[in-house]
Every structure is written in structure tokens, then in C-alpha cells.
Structure 1
Amino acid sequence: MHTPPSSYQGSTPHPPLRPVRGVAVFAVVVLACDAFIAIVAAMIDLWYAAFIDRVISDIGSASESEKMTADLVYALSGILWVAVYLVSIAGFLVWLFRVRANAESLAPDGHRHTRPWLIFGWVVPIISFWFPKQIVDDIWHASARDGEQASPQVLIDVWWAAWVAGSLVANVAARLLATALFAGDDLESVAFAARFDLVGIALMLVAAVLAICVILKITKAQEHHRAAASL
């Protein structure tokens, strides 16, 4: 378990904390939209896989226009989910920058990584598996009130595990689908890739819900500090 540095408990006055609730609401809304689109994408995955199964069992059971429509709907659902997912990432990062700035005011020496890593930590290979979580851990420990230091650690751990696992599975599913489509007539592999994608969607859905919980927990803690400072 991460142990907060002694500076967390220091009495040195810190700069005024900036409001968090507005950016938190934005992040929660876009993550909720991402979760909804993920559910829609999962339903389309199931429908598309069943359609492919029907074509495999009886190639004449679907016209060329039906096949083109099914392919288009499946492709568009994937594009829509990726687009909403990218917006949800942007919303999360906007919130993350705000709470990190506040956390630095609360605990100037309580952070293992500098601000640029709030972006680079997600994209640099290998270290992206743990840097972002360490950043969120440090923000929480800086923001938590007395007696709350350990309470959300399991929440953050499970959120991060779900996000990493979901990202890896989604990447594998995309590669399987690309390989199957490149093969051209390997419809069984296309159906398998569509069903395998459900695993990644389920994990990313769990990660989105848990991310909302993490946002609400840290936002509540920092808003408590702001309210206390105004007294």
C-alpha cells in the first residue's frame, strides 16, 4: 500500500484550491455515454456474429445488400465507440489535470511523477501499465481526509486492472478482426472476432463505471477541502 509522505500532514498554507465539480460532471457524463455506446456495440457484435453464422450455414440466405448493410452497421458501431471513447479519455484527462493541480497544493512533495506524465504516462510503452495508476494513487492520498487514506485503494486497483485488461483484449480483438477480414472468405474467424470483442467491451464497461466512482470519490474529497478552507 502506498504510504503518503509526511508532507501530506504539513501545516504550510497551500494556494487556493480550484473548483472540481464542473469538470467532474463533464468527465462523468462522457464516461456514462461511453458505457452506453459500449452496450450498444456489444449488442451489435452479437447480432453481427449471428448474421455471419446464418451466412455460413446457408450462403444464399442473405442478399448482397443485406451483407453490405450488416458490414456497414458493424463498422459504424466500432467507429462510433472509438470516437466516444476518445472523448471520454479527453474528459477524464481534463478532470485529472484539475485534481492533480489541487493535489499539488495540498501535498507539494507527495507526487512521484511530474505533470507531463499525466499525458505521456498513458502512451509511452511499458510504463503506461503503471504510471497513470501511480498518479491517481498520489492524487488520492494527497486529497483524502484523515482516516480515509486506505478506503478507496481497492476501488482504484480494480479500476486499473479492468482498464488494462480491457485495453489488451480490445487490441487483440481488433487484430483478430483485421486478420479475418484480410483473409477475405474466413467468415468463421470474423464471427469469432466479433464475439471475442465482447470480452473487451465488458471489461471496458466495468472500467468506465469504476472510473466514475474514482472521479466521484476524489472530487468529493477535494470539495471537502475547499469548503473547509472557506470557513
Structure 2
Amino acid sequence: MPCALCGDIIPTEVARCPACGAWARRRDFRAVGVAVFMLLGFNAFIALGSGMSLVRLLDPLREATHDTYDPALTGRAIAPYTDVFVIGTVMAGITGLLYLGWLWRAYRQAPGPHRHRQAWVLFGWICPLVNLWVPPRVVYDVWVNSGRFRAAQRHLVGLVVTVWWIFVLLGVGLSRLFSHSGVQTLADARYSVHLGVAAAACQALAAALCMTIVFQVTRLQIARDL
């Protein structure tokens, strides 16, 4: 297989690249990181496209009145976006499984101290209530333990992780509200479209920030010990 750092061919029976000395496990870890990065970008692209399409529905709704508003027509126009959000949720689930595999390896390769045991890399996402604050703490520990950071840099990492997690929660919550919103009245339709735009924006920003986290952690762990 080719080395992820220099491109030289690494024999399967060799643990290090003969050209640059990179460990094969770091090569594999980089490949997983690139796959997660690309999937996150695809998720961000879908969310951004959905939000931009929903924005186009705002102008007709602004010009509409209670006498000219047609709830059946509006319902048919908005219904496909509910399906898009469902597809986005499925894609996010697939991306999340690969992301957890990446995070598991990143945790194992990051020297301590960690505030949570490695099992919380998985259980932190599925345990009710606990999954509201454990995942960002695990991600923060993995990031700061993957390199050498000054106090100001640690605060910046914490800010990025916190903002990312806020957008994750907002994206999940707003998309659920959008899927249960109605278009019986003009006010309901305007509210539903605004919910959809906000949900799409939060999902796109969450995916973009997660791309930053994956890129930085992967880069730090690959560069270490080279």
C-alpha cells in the first residue's frame, strides 16, 4: 500500500515506510480520517443545499396573504424537504459510525490524561442525558492530548468543540421540529420554512466544524513521532 505521507509503497510485512519512516498504523488512521472528512463534507453540502432551496420559498410566502395562501400547494412544496432531512439523518448516522471508529483510534493514540475511560467514546453517545455533555468532553480531551498546546490554544480548542456541539444539538432539535410542523395557515408555513432553514444551517455548520476537528486531530497524531 502507498504511504499516506510520502506516497512510497510500504510492503505488507513492514511496519514503517522505508522512505519517511511513518508507521503503517498511522497510514491507516489517516485513511479513516480522510474518509470521515469527506463524508462530513458531503453531509454539509446536502444541508447547505437544502437550506438554500428553502430560502427560495420565503419570498412567495412573504408576498402571500391569507386570501391567496394555498396550504395544499405549500404542503406539496415543503414535503420533499422533510424527505431530504430524513436522508440527511441516515447519512449522518452512517458518517457517525465511521466517526466513532476514528474517534476510538484517536483516543487510544492520544496520551492522557483523559477525564473519561475509552468505553465512553461509544457509550457517551447512546446513554440518555449523559450524551448531552460527555461526547464533547471526550473530543476535547482527544484533541488537546494529541499535541502540545498553550493555555490560550486550549481555550480556543474548547471554544471550537463547544460551538460544534451546540450546532449539533440545535440541528437535531430544529430538524425534529421541522418534521412535525404544519402549513395549515400562512403563519404556520412561514414558521416551518424558517425552522427548516435554521436546521439546515446548524447541520451544515456542525458538519464543517467537525471536519475541522477531524482534520486537526488526524494531522497532529500523524505528525507526532515523525
TM bracket, shorter-chain basis: 0.7 to 0.9
Give TM-score, length-normalised by structure 1.
0.71
Query: Quick one: structure 1 residues 170 and 46, their matched pair in 2 at CA, closer, same or farther if it must change by over 3 Å?
Result: same
CA contact (8 A) 1:141 1:149 kept: no
- Where do 1:144-183 residues align within 5 Å? 144-145=147-148, 148-150=149-151, 152-174=153-175, 176-177=177-178, 180-181=181-182
Distance 2:58 2:204 in 1: 20
CA contact (8 A) 1:144 1:221 kept: yes
Distance 2:217 2:172 in 1: 30
One-letter code aligned to 2:79: L
CA contact (8 A) 1:30 1:91 kept: no
For residue 209 of structure 1, give the secondary structure of its aligned residue in structure 2: helix
Gaps of 5+ in 2: 1-22
| Aligned equivalent of 1:78, options 74, 85, 96 | 85
Once the two structures are TM-superposed, the CA of residue 135 in structure 1 deviates from its matched residue by 1.4
Once the two structures are TM-superposed, the CA of residue 208 in structure 1 deviates from its matched residue by 1.8
Q: In terms of mean alpha carbon deviation, does 45-54 or 125-134 score higher?
A: 45-54
Query: Quick one: structure 1 residues 139 and 25, their matched pair in 2 at CA, closer, same or farther if it must change by over 3 Å?
Result: same
Once the two structures are TM-superposed, the CA of residue 134 in structure 1 deviates from its matched residue by 2.0
CA contact (8 A) 1:162 1:203 kept: no
- Where do 1:35-50 residues align within 5 Å? 35-50=44-59
Query: Quick one: structure 1 residues 170 and 217, their matched pair in 2 at CA, closer, same or farther if it must change by over 3 Å?
Result: closer
| Aligned equivalent of 1:90, options 90, 97, 108 | 97
| Aligned equivalent of 2:25, options 3, 15, 18 | 18
Cα RMSD (Å): 3.0
Deviations 1:27-49 (A, max 9, x none): 10011001100111102322344
Aligned residues between the structures: 202
Partner of 1:143: 146
One-letter code aligned to 2:95: S
Higher helix proportion = 1
One-letter code aligned to 1:84: M
Query: Quick one: structure 1 residues 160 and 46, their matched pair in 2 at CA, closer, same or farther if it must change by over 3 Å?
Result: same
Query: Quick one: structure 1 residues 186 and 92, their matched pair in 2 at CA, closer, same or farther if it must change by over 3 Å?
Result: same
Query: Quick one: structure 1 residues 173 and 189, their matched pair in 2 at CA, closer, same or farther if it must change by over 3 Å?
Result: farther
- Where do 1:193-212 residues align within 5 Å? 193-212=192-211
Distance 2:86 2:65 in 1: 25
Give TM-score, length-normalised by structure 2.
0.73
| Aligned equivalent of 1:124, options 119, 127, 135 | 127
CA contact (8 A) 1:173 1:193 kept: no
